[in-house]
Structure 1
Amino acid sequence: MYRLIASDMDETFLGEGHRVPPANLEALARMREMGILFVPSSGRPYSSIMDSLSGIDPALLQGSYVISYNGGFINRYGDDRPLLRTVMDRASLEQLYRYAVEHRICMHVYTESGRIFTQFLNELERGYIANLAGIEELGDDQDALAMAGGEEFPKIIFMDPDFDAVKRLGERLRPSLDPELVDITHSSNRYVEFVPHGVNKGTGLAHLAAMLGIDMAETVGVGDSANDLAMIQAAGLGVGVANASDDIRPACDLILDATADDGAFPELLRRIS
């Protein structure tokens, strides 16, 4: 019997426009009946995740938790004070930011409070993030590090609509980064993500399971892209939605027939019951 389902948000639990498909709302109610804890797990900040869930009856998630910043933060649902907090090495973050400014790379810079500074956005990315909370688009001559004041940064990501190009960018930068300080992953077929070393959704799930006294064999990890891979591998059952990227499919114990836009969680519950 599975006791906890940890799910990526964008392109997994959320469909087009970062909205919850009606079928997944029904699945949340069914999970409550089954005694299964549903835990959102995202690369986005806690506040942004909560905004995407704002239309859901809070009773469906009462007593649950939220894993954010790729596993670097854990919060109780409804409480913005993190139980776990991990931020980036400041020098590494500054190096990546200055590189992106020099080369005018479309990027998101995340602060620990949930502010998301974006810069050098292309029109595709501007449309993709249009209804996400916490976005602050900066002008080309503004400085995100200065704008953040004394805040620390959990992550920074670069975007390119050519996914192969953004992967090459990450590999080009890898030798200049200390592997004991920074890890690199990918998401949404558009991003290369730079996060603190050892931070991933798998470690986030393991930390939460330990807090709750839940065996990892009793957990399910659901995702669609590379930044979900560690969670899929760590969980007792690793699941990909039908739109999962090719690089995570071999690691999945189960690939669903339904896509994120369909609302895949009723199928998931049927197949694990």
Structure 2
Amino acid sequence: MIRMIASDMDDTFLDGAHRVPAPNIAALERLHELGVLFVPCSGRPYPSIMGNLEDVDQRLLTGTYVISLNGGFINRYGQDEPLTSVTLDRSVAEELYRRGMDEHRIMHVYVPSGTIYTQGVRDAESSYLAGMRGVTALTGTERDLGFVGDEDVVKILYVDTDFDALQRLGERLRPDLDATRVAITYSARRYLEFVPAGMDKGVGVRRLAGMLGIDMDEVMSIGDSANDISMLDAAGIGVGVANVCEDTRAHCDAVTAATGEQGALAEILQRFIEPGYAHGQTKLGLPTT
């Protein structure tokens, strides 16, 4: 029986404007009644995720957790201080940023406080970022990461809406990277992500489940992109939404008919969660750690 659902946010749980579709709100209400823990799990920072959830009845999320920044950070919902944190080696981050500037690439730079610095963003990307909290546009003159001040860097993204070209770029760059310090993944069919080696959503989900005494067979993960693969593989059930990327589909135990935009959590609730309560059990006893 599923006790915890770890769900990606963008293009999975949220619509194109980074809002929670109405069917997903109704599904959260039912999950709350059943005592199934719903855990947002995103590549974005914790404050940005909280911004997307501020219109949701907080009663439905109180007592849960948020896994952010590709699994490197875990927060108790509503508490700013993370329980876990992982950052990039600064010299690696500087090299990736410098290379991006030399090649005139659109970039995002993520720091632990939640700010997302953007470099070279153009119209289409500006529209995509419009519903996200904590985005700060750079001037284009910054030649190093001095703009982050004393903060560490969690990850750097290169942006290209030509996803095939972006994947070719990632494979071209991979041999130049120290695999003991940095890893590559992809998200939203527009982002090439450089993250700390060993940091992924699967690690974050496993870590939280262990903290709460939940077996991974009792965990469901939901996603749509390559950076969700590790948590889809780790969970007892890995579910892709209808708009799942082809390279991720093979890692899904099932794929919904509904897209993230349409509120796929409602379908997942009916297909996979409700049947577990068909014999009269109405609520799970969740851990209180």
Task: Give the TM-score range, shorter chain.
Answer: over 0.9
In 2, the alpha carbon distance for the partners of 1:174 and 1:22 equals 40
Where do 5+ consecutive residues of structure 2 fail to align? Answer: 275-289
Shift of 1:143: 4.8
Partner residue in 2 for 1:9: 9
SS in 1 for 2:270: helix
In 2, the alpha carbon distance for the partners of 1:118 and 1:141 equals 12
Where do 5+ consecutive residues of structure 1 fail to align? Answer: none
Shift of 1:130: 1.4
1:115 is aligned with what amino acid?
T
Aligned residues: 273
Structure 1 stretches of 4+ moved >3 Å: none
Partner residue in 2 for 1:74: 74
Partner residue in 1 for 2:97: 97
In 2, the alpha carbon distance for the partners of 1:144 and 1:3 equals 45
Shift of 1:113: 0.6
- Whether the 8 Å contact between 1:3 and 1:219 is mirrored in structure 2 is yes
Partner residue in 1 for 2:175: 175
SS in 1 for 2:232: helix
The Cα offsets for residues 55-93 of structure 1, whole Å up to 9 and x where unpaired, read as 011110000000000000000000010000000111111
1:241 is aligned with what amino acid?
V
In 2, the alpha carbon distance for the partners of 1:143 and 1:266 equals 46
Partner residue in 1 for 2:240: 240
Partner residue in 1 for 2:286: none
In 1, the alpha carbon distance for the partners of 2:261 and 2:16 equals 6
% identical aligned pairs: 53
Partner residue in 2 for 1:28: 28
| CA pair 144-59 structure 1, distance change in 2 beyond 3 A | farther
In 1, the alpha carbon distance for the partners of 2:231 and 2:100 equals 29
SS in 2 for 1:63: coil
Partner residue in 2 for 1:160: 160
SS in 1 for 2:9: coil
In 1, the alpha carbon distance for the partners of 2:265 and 2:158 equals 30
Greater C-alpha Rg: 2
- Whether the 8 Å contact between 2:87 and 2:155 is mirrored in structure 1 is yes
- Whether the 8 Å contact between 1:115 and 1:134 is mirrored in structure 2 is yes
2:248 is aligned with what amino acid?
I
Shift of 1:142: 2.6
RMSD between aligned residues:
0.8
Shift of 1:245: 0.7
SS in 1 for 2:185: strand
1:17 is aligned with what amino acid?
A
Q: TM-score, normalised by structure 2?
A: 0.93
Q: TM-score, normalised by structure 1?
A: 0.98
> 2:262 matched to 1:259?
no
SS in 2 for 1:205: helix
